Structure 1
Amino acid sequence: MRKLNLFVTATMMSVLSGCGALGPSPYKEPMEGDTATLVFKKGGHMLVIPNIYAGATECTDRTKLPPIADDEEISRRIVAGRPLSFSLVRTENYLSEGCIATTTFSPEPNHRYIAQVKGHGTTCHVDLVDAGKPGDEYIPSKAVPKSDRRWRRPLSERGPFCTD
């Protein structure tokens, strides 16, 4: 029994660290078609890891992005004109309890969206704003219509990772 526990622990650590073959695949930006930009930001001393799902409806086929460094941001091109789901995993002070906030929205072509996880302890939500198109720097950002989803623990990396 002890050997089985050791094997399960080693496998889970490998998957969670991204080294396992069963872990999420890296996110690949679209090479053609209408796109938008999604910027993941954070403030404060916390670990934030963004995930984008290839299947927006049930948050299936999770893809990973690198953790966001303190006072930094990660920017990625995304497919525009159809729903997109993503999660932000957050732990405070890199060690204590955390939360997962999952959101679905429909990006418009050439727009720049800014997502930031906010909250405290095990409760959090995503603030998502539309910063407009290039050249709209002087127009205030506006809130984006979105659906906050309930995260669920899947049976595999294929998901589903969310419910309504």
Structure 2
Amino acid sequence: MKFQRTGDWKNVSLILERQLKRVEESIVFNFLVIGENCVIHARDNGKYKDQTGNLRNSIGYVIAYEGEILEWGFKYSSGISNKGEFLAKYKINEMLTGDTGYSLVIVAGMSYARKVENRGKNVLSATEGYLKKEVRTKMKRILSKAGFK
């Protein structure tokens, strides 16, 4: 039996590139949704008395690929009015140095957030479990739709 190629094999790489782009766009979109939901989760489930509202309002997220920031979301509070100020103040680029693949970083931007967590109060710790579960679920769905098991 002799095999014969059918179809336009010149376009295979183009088709694969398009499919890869769709998967990448789906990852970023789902990370946007997860990031927004994590911010809501952290703000709603923070077990501390936030007298000024600054700690809850400082919670935001960053989506990056290979250490390069793609998207970000935070409330315009604490006198921060642009992306550069936000990234510098919370040292996001330092956090992403050396990262490979996609990253979703949830940030509590006030300098005292760690001290509050260290006193046994939940600022972001409960949101970590929520984040992991959501990412696992969404990634499984994306890869399944892309034909991976």
Global fold match (TM > 0.5): no
Q: Which has the higher strand share?
A: 1
- Larger RCO of the pair (alpha carbons < 8 Å, separation 6+): 2
TM-score by length of structure 2 reads: 0.31
- Give the structure with the higher percent helix: 2
Q: TM-score, normalised by structure 1?
A: 0.29
